[in-house]
Chain A
């Protein structure tokens, strides 16, 4: 029997923790610094790749993802160095997916050809909005015109292009969003990540919200209708939702993200990067030191950048399988759930099934569309205490 992670695949996540400026809604591990020593970072990231490759010998790598922060602030040499280390450590799949997150400014678009030459074959552009006033409110440095140009360059350069948009913004009506989404869909891209704005504690928006200074965010009912509109429009445009916030033309789904949602194994490299590795039958969660300087120093001096490395229990492994897997249209394999935690009580599915929030087909468990929009509650119901 294959180890359960193999059903989810194997990938590499590389975290680039630097940005030009900090967006007010963002709680990612991103930092604004004067200068980055690209050589030093390229070396440290490559060393971490090699370290992890040594503990997972013989595996075939299906995906590499440069996330951030703003990976489009990496030089093409840094990207190339990390990719070379990966190539050396593992066998790259013939159809390996190599994605890089990019901010859609003109400076960054100029680097696209270099990334392509280094091996990147997919970009994810952080467009966020197609309305200039909203881009300003979101604290973004680019405007709509720059974003459109960056999209064009990306389409010419890479085989696959995805854009991120944030909706359910302050004061955003259903009509406004529908019109904006329509413009986005008419770009004819093969992948769209559409996130409802989340107010994260510890961010500038989080503080403003707590002080009552972030008015006119949609209430639950409006945010439901916005979500519904989004699902309908994307389906009609041939890019249906395959995960809560991700939409793609059939076959163009992000292979990398599928590893997370299907509880595959991935190596996480860089400050604050998380990883999951199944070694000798046990599942291990790793996390990098969050502060960039401390991470770099640790890699150099101690030979690794990990802050934690812990073994997940059968129950924790099973819970992750369920709470990640039910986010997708494909759902999860109940046999795999049972195998992950054979001694734990079974999922409590009856009530949610009766309410039409989940469905079972053969041995596949799926959240229905009604269930997906209530997923947090649904999961709390079905995972036994």
Chain B
């Protein structure tokens, strides 16, 4: 166990690609925490998907032993937080487990939207903050401009900022020294009853649930019997340890320390993030202030392409849910798609990550229906109902009004694209809250309906700004608006998986766009197919996909018989990947592509 005065707990906050993972790698490597031969890039991004996409999804922890220039030995605990907005909530709770932050800013880019969002979370958590200006090895690096920006826009002192190159290792020693000398040591009382904060938990196939804890007071030892105060459950601790970054068993964890415990817990759901863990006997009487659980904000249906794989899908979803408490699911039946699940996610990236994992790790091909946010339906009898699926929209005569979730979006954009960004926000029913300048760049804050953002707002933003905008958001609550359910009928049959909630004023436009898109996405059939958008019984847009007119191979002689037969088998296999709605085959990509808007 280490004395409190020789512990430093910190996180790194940064906009994506500013070098957080690379800096963490350097800190780990330069202190000999990991032998050079074990070193691989982005050490803390452990899942395939994280590595591939270069994002951190779950918080990761590493304990670094550092001998400072003054000769003293320190324990530095780094919690690496997710960078993407979908996981903002995980960031905030990880921040509560540490006392300081390194604010990494790419000195060739400057402050970006996620820099702002994340640094405000650090400030909210009362962190001491050390600015680190990265990538000084690049010619475009401009440290004094970035220092100015940090002071002007964020309003923190940048005089102690450390210029580094996480790539070459220049400045790393200074960062380590700053952690020791500028970040505060944790506080806590070794003799007080145990209070350990449950920072995160995940499922490990060999160990069961692994719980990441930060000890506030008291001492946790192996074989202790502990109580999870919110749940009231009692477990016997069978393992404790720290991450270096592999799991290393220790005898005890004392105040200020960060580590893990296992206690033969079967499900992640049994461990609530933010809970306080204490001893069964002589425990603390008051828990630490808890956090709110993260709640899913985006819902969509996941259906197996091959309906025979429903049970496999159930299995996959249950396994994934074991390890991800923020992901919710329930069974859903769709007239068109058969059996599947309605799933809730923290955001669109979270949705994509889960969907990718099901397809990749469990080898199940999926149809994903239109993502929807959660609407609040206020019924005439005073009841409030949550609507997760437009297909479940009750008869309108029973509904008094509908509220939708709104977000506050922060966008930083170069001047030349400002007009396009304002137009995009305006088109998506946004209300401008702020238009200021962060240094020389416009900073736009908008109040936007979440349903206009979940689907393709970020893609559109990237495309109108050629990738130069940065974007972050937070939920700000619910507000009433004139919302209606729009149904899509293909060959006169409603396709529930394509129905969606829209604002009444935008319904015609969206309906037209959907019908046009579907006309391109559905292949011609041997008969003509009307495609309609309707509100209630009223058709608001319509297109007709004409019948197939010609589909025959011109040349077919002796040598073509084999080829023709194989082609036919392929054609049949392709058909299996489509879904039949009445007599119409709709390709699976149509469900998502149809919703992408061109403006």
Contact = CB atoms under 8 A, between A and B. Distances in A.
Interface of A: 13, 67, 195-198, 220-221, 223-224, 227, 244-245, 257, 259-261, 266, 268, 272-276, 285, 287, 316, 319-320, 323-324, 327, 355, 357, 372-381, 383, 385
In the A-B complex, the 9 residue pairs with the smallest Cβ-Cβ separation, listed nearest first, are A224-B549, A224-B550, A274-B559, A375-B552, A195-B554, A260-B558, A376-B551, A196-B554, A377-B551
Nearest to A166: B554
A244 B552 CA distance: 8
A196 B551 CA distance: 12
B553 A377 contact: no
B571 interface: yes
18 contacts: A220-B524, A221-B549, A244-B553, A244-B556, A260-B556, A260-B558, A268-B559, A273-B559, A276-B558, A319-B565, A320-B565, A323-B565, A355-B527, A373-B549, A374-B549, A375-B553, A376-B551, A377-B551
Given A197-B554, A244-B553, A245-B554, 13 more contacts: A220-B524, A227-B550, A244-B552, A257-B557, A260-B556, A275-B558, A285-B562, A320-B561, A323-B568, A324-B556, A324-B561, A355-B527, A377-B551
A198 B559 contact: no
Contacts of B571: 376, 380
A81 B550 CA distance: 44
Contact of B558 (A220, A244, A274): A274
B597 interface: no
A316 B565 contact: yes
A374 B526 CA distance: 8
A276 B559 contact: no
Nearest to B547: A374
Contacts of B564: 320, 323-324
B572 interface: yes
The interface size bin for chain B is 20 to 34
A316 B565 CA distance: 8
B526 A380 contact: no
Interface in B495-545: 524, 526-527
B552 A380 contact: no
Contacts of B548: 220, 374, 377
Nearest to A254: B557
Contact of A374 (B550, B555, B557): B550
Contacts of A244: 552-554, 556
A198 B554 contact: yes
Contacts of B554: 195-198, 244-245
Contact of B568 (A257, A275, A373, A379): A379
B526 to A, nearest CB: 6
Contact of B556 (A67, A327, A372): A327
Contacts of A287: 562
Contact of A385 (B550, B552, B559, B572): B572
A220 B549 contact: yes
A260 B552 contact: no
Nearest to B558: A260
Give the most central of B548, B552, B555: most A CB within 10 Å: B552
A382 B552 CA distance: 15
A377 B557 CA distance: 19
B575 interface: yes
B561 A355 contact: no
Contacts of B552: 244, 372-376
B550 A319 contact: no
Nearest to B573: A385
Contacts of A257: 557
A274 B564 CA distance: 13
Nearest to B546: A221
Nearest to A29: B559
B568 A319 contact: yes
Nearest to B565: A319
Given A224-B550, A380-B571, A260 B561 contact: yes
A257 B559 CA distance: 11
Nearest to B523: A377
Contacts of B562: 274, 285, 287
Contacts of B556: 244, 260-261, 324, 327
A267 B526 CA distance: 38
Contacts of B524: 220
B549 A377 contact: no
Contacts of A260: 556-558, 561
Contacts of A276: 558, 561
A319 B554 CA distance: 19
A223 B550 contact: yes
A320 B563 CA distance: 10
Contacts of A198: 553-555
B48 to A, nearest CB: 32
Contacts of B558: 13, 259-260, 266, 268, 274-276
A351 to B, nearest CB: 9
A375 B565 contact: no
Contacts of B551: 373-377
A375 B526 CA distance: 11
Nearest to A287: B562
A195 B555 contact: yes
A260 B416 CA distance: 66
Nearest to A308: B562
B582 to A, nearest CB: 13
Nearest to B567: A376
Give the most central of A223, A275, A316, A380: most B CB within 10 Å: A380
A376 B524 CA distance: 13
Contact of A380 (B527, B561, B572): B572
Contacts of A385: 572
A113 to B, nearest CB: 28
Given A198-B555, A260-B558, A380-B575, A220 B550 contact: yes
A67 B555 CA distance: 14
Given A220-B549, A221-B549, A245 B555 contact: yes
A197 B553 CA distance: 10
Interface in B550-599: 550-559, 561-562, 564-565, 568, 571-572, 575
Contacts of B527: 355
Nearest to A274: B559
Nearest to B550: A224
A332 B568 CA distance: 19
A357 B526 CA distance: 10
B381 to A, nearest CB: 49
A275 B561 CA distance: 10
Nearest to A244: B552
A377 B555 contact: no
B163 to A, nearest CB: 47
Contacts of A357: 526
Contacts of A266: 558
Contacts of B549: 220-221, 224, 373-374
Nearest to B559: A274
A235 B548 CA distance: 24
A104 B435 CA distance: 75
Nearest to A288: B559
Contacts of A195: 554-555
Interface in B299-327: none
A317 to B, nearest CB: 10
Nearest to B557: A260
A289 to B, nearest CB: 14
B524 to A, nearest CB: 7
Nearest to A268: B558
Nearest to B569: A319
A244 B526 CA distance: 18
A323 B551 CA distance: 13
A184 B572 CA distance: 39
Contacts of A373: 549-552
A375 B571 CA distance: 13
Nearest to B527: A355
A355 B557 CA distance: 28
Contacts of A197: 554
Contacts of A323: 561, 564-565, 568
A268 B558 CA distance: 9
